[in-house]
Structure 1
Amino acid sequence: MDPRLSHIRTWIFDLDNTLYPASAKLFDQIDVKMGAYIAQRLGVDLIEARRIQKGYFHGHGTTLAGMMAEHGVDPHEFLDFVHDIEMDVLEENAPLAAAIAKLPGRKLVFTNADTPYAAKVLGRLGLGETFEAIHDIHAMDLAPKPQESAYAGLCAAFDLDPHTSLFVEDMARNLAPAKAIGMTTVWVDNGSEQAVDSDRSYIDFTTHDITHWLQAALEAQ
């Protein structure tokens, strides 16, 4: 193991565009579905729906959080609608499964999605038996990353010491609260959409491919 990671006892992974590459464009389908939901719910065209969607994404952390705060939408209805997508773009990633299996300690998924969707994604990737648990948006009491309460709730739920925990995430801004409580942070810079934020001082490691990064970390002396 890379000596810089020898203290890590818990390995925490985001889901979308982290455990699979953004180039798979799975989240593009969700993006389209969110726009359709907003257009239908608010009675606007798709151009205005996209403007609203991105405004809520940047301002509230997720589109769902914005729709709940501003329009009182039912989160279950919203999530069921936007997660009704085809997952045939995802392929099993045996090397990633093998690398995560070799990591010493606990492994968790920490996602702003819900568990039924996350379980389907993990199944397609061949990671269905890889993680101890999925800490989803409902476990966060619908307060998503990057809200501080999401990270505090994760640590409380699994009795984690943030100073011996590592968090892997494609959304750079979601790493800031993790770093603030002492976690080691890994940014998967693979081309996924980012919130406006030029500060990257809270990132410890950057990679374009989490499989290769984990393999290199495990082989480092």
Structure 2
Amino acid sequence: MHPEFSHIDDWVFDLDNCLYPASSGLFTLIDARMNAYIRRLLNVNETEAHRVQKSHFYQHGTTLAGLMAEHGVDPHDFLNDVHDIPLDKIDADERLAEGLGRLPGRKFIFTNGDEPYARRVLGRLGIEEQFEAVHCILANDLQPKPRLHGYELLLERFEIDPGRAVLFEDMVKNLKPAKALGMTTIWVDNGSEQAHQAYDPAIVDFRIENVGDWLHQMLDGEL
């Protein structure tokens, strides 16, 4: 293993557009479900629904957070609806599975989605059994990343020492609280929407493009 990671006990991964490439277009399907949900909720056309959706995403961290704050949306109803998508755009990733399997220590998913959806995606990728637990938006008291509250709950729930933990994220802004808490931060720069938002080299320890490839390079000391 590369010596810079020899002290790491806990490996924390975001899910969407992080453990699979943004180019798969999976999140585009979720976007479409969100748009349809907002059209029904507010009785507006597709263009206005898109504006509302993105406004909430940028202002509140997630579309759901904005809809809850401004329209009183039931989070369970929203999450069940927008995650009701086919997963045929992603496939089992043997290289990622092998890399995760070689990691010493515990592995967690930390996502703004909900656990049932996360487990569907992990199952499709062939890596569900690699993870100790899924820490989702519901476990965060519905406070999305990058709000500090969810990070603190994650560390407390699993007794994680932030100085001995890594967070992998496709959104730079979601690395800031982790860095402030003392975690090592890895930006998975693979084309996510607004991935560069709030970019600051001081909060990005490592920048990578593919988690599976990087894990093998790190574990073989080839970084």
Classify the TM-score, shorter chain.
over 0.9
Deviation at 1:200, TM superposition (A): 3.5
Contact kept in structure 2, 1:172 and 1:200, CA below 8 Å: no
Change (3 A) 1:200 1:34: farther
What secondary structure, in the 3-state scheme, does the structure 1 residue paired with 2:214 have?
helix
Query: 1:38 and 2:38 equivalent?
Result: yes
> What is residue 13 of structure 1 aligned with on the other side?
13
> What is residue 55 of structure 1 aligned with on the other side?
55
User: How far apart, in 1, do the equivalents of 2:84 and 2:201 lie?
Assistant: 34
> What is residue 219 of structure 1 aligned with on the other side?
220
User: How far apart, in 2, do the equivalents of 1:88 and 1:53 lie?
Assistant: 25
User: How far apart, in 1, do the equivalents of 2:201 and 2:174 lie?
Assistant: 11
> What is residue 95 of structure 1 aligned with on the other side?
95
| Off by >4 Å, runs of 4+ in structure 1 | none
User: How far apart, in 1, do the equivalents of 2:46 and 2:205 lie?
Assistant: 39
User: How far apart, in 1, do the equivalents of 2:165 and 2:42 lie?
Assistant: 41
Q: Which runs of 5+ in 1 are unaligned?
A: none
Deviation at 1:28, TM superposition (A): 0.6
What secondary structure, in the 3-state scheme, does the structure 1 residue paired with 2:167 have?
strand
What secondary structure, in the 3-state scheme, does the structure 2 residue paired with 1:97 have?
helix
User: How far apart, in 2, do the equivalents of 1:124 and 1:28 lie?
Assistant: 17
Letter in 2 for 1:42: L
- After superposition, give the CA deviation of every residue in 1:38-79 in whole Å (9 maximum; x if it has no partner): 111011111111111111111101000000001000001000
Letter in 2 for 1:110: F
> What is residue 110 of structure 2 aligned with on the other side?
110
Q: Which runs of 5+ in 2 are unaligned?
A: none
- After superposition, give the CA deviation of every residue in 1:162-207 in whole Å (9 maximum; x if it has no partner): 0100000111110000000000000010001016324232000011
> What is residue 205 of structure 2 aligned with on the other side?
204
> What is residue 183 of structure 1 aligned with on the other side?
183
- Aligned-CA RMSD value: 1.0
User: How far apart, in 2, do the equivalents of 1:200 and 1:60 lie?
Assistant: 23
Change (3 A) 1:139 1:67: same
Contact kept in structure 1, 2:38 and 2:49, CA below 8 Å: yes
Letter in 2 for 1:212: D
> What is residue 82 of structure 1 aligned with on the other side?
82
TM-score (norm 1): 0.98
Aligned length: 221
